[in-house]
Structure 1
Amino acid sequence: MKYFREHKGLNLSDINKDILQYWEENNVFHRSVEERQGHRSFVFYEGPPSANGMPGIHHVMARTIKDVFCRFKTMQGYQVKRKAGWDTHGLPVELGVEKMLGITKEDIGKNISVEQYNDACRREVMKYTREWEDLTKKMGYWVDMTDPYITYDNRYIETLWYLLKQLYDKGLLYKGYTIQPYSPAAGTGLSTHELNQPGAYRDVKDTTCIAQFKVKNSTPQAQALIQKAGSEPVFFVAWTTTPWTLPSNTALAVGANIDYVLIKTQNQYTKQSVTVVLAESLLASVVGKNEYELLAKFSGKDMEGIEYEQLFDWVNPILAGSKLSAFRVICGDFVTTEDGTGIVHIAPTFGADDDKVAKQNGIAPLFVVDKKGDTRPMVDLTGKYFDISDLDDNFVKTNVNLPSYRQWAGRFVKNAYDQHLSDTDVTLDVDICMELKQRGQVFKIEKHTHNYPHCWRTDKPVLYYPLDSWFIRTTAVKDEMIALNDTINWKPQSTGSGRFGKWLENLQDWNLSRSRYWGTPLPIWRTDDGQEEICIGSVAELIEEIDKSIEAGIMTENPYKNFEVGVYTADNYSEKNIDLHRPYVDNIILVSPSGKPMKREADLIDVWFDSGAMPYAQVHYPFECE
Structure 2
Amino acid sequence: MDYKDTLLMPKTEFPMRGNLPKREPDMQAKWEEMNIYEKVQKRTEGRPLFILHDGPPYANGDIHMGHALNKILKDFIVRYKSMSGYHAPYVPGWDTHGLPIETALTKNKKVNRKEMSVAEFRKLCEQYAWEQVDRQREQFKRLGVRGDWDNPYVTLTPEYEAQQIKVFGEMAKKGYIYKGLKPVYWSPSSESALAEAEIEYYDKRSPSIYVAFAVKDGKGVLEQDEKIVIWTTTPWTIPANLGIAVHPDLDYVVVKVGDEKLLVAHDLVETVAKEIGWEEFETLRTVKGQQLEHIVAKHPLYERDSIVMLGDHVTTDAGTGCVHTAPGHGEDDFIIGQKYGLDVLCPVDEKGYMTSEAPGFEGLFYDEANKPITQKLEENGALLKLSFITHSYPHDWRTKKPTIFRATAQWFASIKDFRNELLKAVEDTKWVPAWGETRLYNMVRDRGDWCISRQRAWGVPIPVFYGENGDPIITDETIDHVSNLFREHGSNIWFEKEAKELLPEGFTHPSSPNGKFTKETDIMDVWFDSGSSHQAVLVERDDLNRPADLYLEGSDQYRGWFNSSLSTAVAVTGKAPYKGVLSHGFALDGEGRKMSKSLGNVVVPAKVMNQLGADILRLWVASVDYQADVRVSDAILKQVAEVYRKIRNTYRFLLGNLFDFDPKKDAVAFDQLREVDQYMLVKLNKLIEKVKKSYDEYEFAAIYHAVHNFCTIELSSFYLDFAKDVLYIEAADHKDRRAIQTVLYESLLALVKLMTPILPHTTEEVWSHISSVEEESVQLVDMPEAVHFENAEVLEQKWDAFMSLRDDVLKALEVARNEKVIGKSLTASVTLYANEKAKELLESVEEDLKQLFIVSEFAMGGSYTEAPENAQTFDAVKIVVKQAEGKTCERCWVVTPEVGEDQDHDTLCPRCAKIVREQYVS
1:181-330 equivalence runs, <5 A: 181-195=185-199, 200-216=200-216, 218=217, 220-221=219-220, 225-226=223-224, 233-266=225-258, 273-288=259-274, 290-313=279-302, 326-330=305-309
The answer (yes or no) to whether the contact 1:221–1:303 under 8 Å persists in 2 is: no
- Could you tell me how far apart the structure 2 residues matched to 1:295 and 1:165 are? 60
The answer (yes or no) to whether the contact 2:97–2:526 under 8 Å persists in 1 is: yes
* Cα pair distance change 1:5/1:22, threshold 3 Å: farther
Partner of 1:551: none
Partner of 2:362: 409
How many pairs does the alignment contain? 527
The answer (yes or no) to whether the contact 1:523–1:536 under 8 Å persists in 2 is: no
- Could you tell me how far apart the structure 2 residues matched to 1:344 and 1:41 are? 56
- Could you tell me how far apart the structure 1 residues matched to 2:415 and 2:340 are? 28
Matched letter for residue 108 of structure 2: M
Matched letter for residue 465 of structure 2: W
The answer (yes or no) to whether the contact 1:84–1:145 under 8 Å persists in 2 is: yes
Structure with larger RCO (C-alpha < 8 A, sep 6+): 1
Partner of 1:554: none
Report how far residue 620 of structure 1 moved: 7.1
Q: Comparing 520-529 with 131-140, which one deviates more in the overlay?
A: 131-140
Q: Deviations over 1:286-314 (max 9, x none)?
A: 1125111232322223333332222112x
1:162-181 equivalence runs, <5 A: 162-181=166-185
Partner of 1:24: 32
The answer to whether residue 150 in structure 2 is matched with residue 146 in structure 1 is yes
TM-score by length of 2: 0.53
* Cα pair distance change 1:237/1:93, threshold 3 Å: same
In the alignment, which of 117, 125, 128 is matched to residue 113 of structure 1? Answer: 117
* Cα pair distance change 1:584/1:612, threshold 3 Å: same
Partner of 2:508: 592
Q: Deviations over 1:326-375 (max 9, x none)?
A: 42322222222222111111111111111221222233343xxxxxxxxx
Partner of 2:354: 385
Matched letter for residue 343 of structure 1: C
Report how far residue 88 of structure 1 moved: 1.6
Partner of 1:343: 322
Partner of 2:435: 494
- Could you tell me how far apart the structure 2 residues matched to 1:237 and 1:539 are? 52
Partner of 1:481: 422
TM-score by length of 1: 0.77
The answer to whether residue 526 in structure 2 is matched with residue 528 in structure 1 is no
* Cα pair distance change 1:4/1:383, threshold 3 Å: farther
- Could you tell me how far apart the structure 1 residues matched to 2:280 and 2:106 are? 58
* Cα pair distance change 1:589/1:225, threshold 3 Å: same
Matched letter for residue 16 of structure 1: E
- Could you tell me how far apart the structure 1 residues matched to 2:451 and 2:173 are? 18
Partner of 1:422: none
* Cα pair distance change 1:50/1:363, threshold 3 Å: closer
Q: Residue 215 of structure 1 aligns to a residue in which SS?
A: strand
Q: Residue 462 of structure 2 aligns to a residue in which SS?
A: coil
- Could you tell me how far apart the structure 2 residues matched to 1:428 and 1:471 are? 30
In the alignment, which of 536, 544, 562 is matched to residue 617 of structure 1? Answer: 536
- Could you tell me how far apart the structure 2 residues matched to 1:492 and 1:113 are? 48
- Could you tell me how far apart the structure 2 residues matched to 1:438 and 1:138 are? 66
Partner of 1:159: 163
Partner of 2:447: 507
The CA RMSD measured in Å over matched residues stands at 3.0
* Cα pair distance change 1:400/1:191, threshold 3 Å: closer
The answer (yes or no) to whether the contact 1:524–1:536 under 8 Å persists in 2 is: no
Matched letter for residue 363 of structure 1: L
The answer to whether residue 399 in structure 2 is matched with residue 428 in structure 1 is no
Report how far residue 586 of structure 1 moved: 5.3
- Could you tell me how far apart the structure 1 residues matched to 2:273 and 2:316 are? 15
Q: Deviations over 1:48-87 (max 9, x none)?
A: 3344322334322221111111111111121111223332
Partner of 1:98: 106
- Could you tell me how far apart the structure 2 residues matched to 1:144 and 1:5 are? 33
Matched letter for residue 453 of structure 2: S
Matched letter for residue 282 of structure 2: E
Q: Comparing 38-47 with 528-537, which one deviates more in the overlay?
A: 528-537
Q: Comparing 163-172 with 132-141, which one deviates more in the overlay?
A: 132-141
More helix by share: 2
In the alignment, which of 593, 605, 619 is matched to residue 524 of structure 2? Answer: 605
Matched letter for residue 448 of structure 2: Q
Matched letter for residue 73 of structure 1: K
- Could you tell me how far apart the structure 2 residues matched to 1:346 and 1:592 are? 44
Report how far residue 25 of structure 1 moved: 4.0
- Could you tell me how far apart the structure 2 residues matched to 1:20 and 1:592 are? 57
Report how far residue 541 of structure 1 moved: 2.4
* Cα pair distance change 1:129/1:509, threshold 3 Å: closer
The answer to whether residue 397 in structure 2 is matched with residue 456 in structure 1 is yes
In the alignment, which of 336, 346, 360 is matched to residue 357 of structure 1? Answer: 336
Report how far residue 602 of structure 1 moved: 1.9
Q: Residue 125 of structure 1 aligns to a residue in which SS?
A: helix
In the alignment, which of 379, 397, 406 is matched to residue 465 of structure 1? Answer: 406
Q: Residue 149 of structure 2 aligns to a residue in which SS?
A: strand
Report how far residue 219 of structure 1 moved: 5.2
Matched letter for residue 298 of structure 1: V
* Structure 1: gaps (5+ residues): 227-232, 267-272, 318-325, 367-376, 389-398, 415-426, 545-559
Q: Comparing 114-123 with 611-620, which one deviates more in the overlay?
A: 611-620
* Structure 2: gaps (5+ residues): 1-9, 546-922
* Largest Rg, 1 or 2: 2
Matched letter for residue 504 of structure 1: V
- Could you tell me how far apart the structure 1 residues matched to 2:36 and 2:442 are? 44
Report how far residue 129 of structure 1 moved: 4.0
* Cα pair distance change 1:275/1:76, threshold 3 Å: same
Q: Residue 401 of structure 2 aligns to a residue in which SS?
A: coil
The answer (yes or no) to whether the contact 1:162–1:538 under 8 Å persists in 2 is: no
* Cα pair distance change 1:625/1:204, threshold 3 Å: closer
- Could you tell me how far apart the structure 2 residues matched to 1:304 and 1:541 are? 52
Partner of 1:373: none
The answer to whether residue 495 in structure 2 is matched with residue 582 in structure 1 is yes
The answer (yes or no) to whether the contact 1:163–1:537 under 8 Å persists in 2 is: no
Matched letter for residue 509 of structure 1: D
- Could you tell me how far apart the structure 1 residues matched to 2:425 and 2:472 are? 36
Report how far residue 210 of structure 1 moved: 0.5
What percent identity do the matched residue pairs reach? 28
The answer (yes or no) to whether the contact 2:499–2:518 under 8 Å persists in 1 is: yes
Report how far residue 530 of structure 1 moved: 3.6
* Cα pair distance change 1:476/1:592, threshold 3 Å: same
Q: Deviations over 1:532-591 (max 9, x none)?
A: 6234678862499xxxxxxxxxxxxxxx7xx9xxxx8xxxx356xx84443446574644
Q: Deviations over 1:477-516 (max 9, x none)?
A: 221221221122211100112x212112113322221111
* Cα pair distance change 1:219/1:444, threshold 3 Å: closer
* Cα pair distance change 1:265/1:67, threshold 3 Å: same
The answer (yes or no) to whether the contact 2:166–2:480 under 8 Å persists in 1 is: no
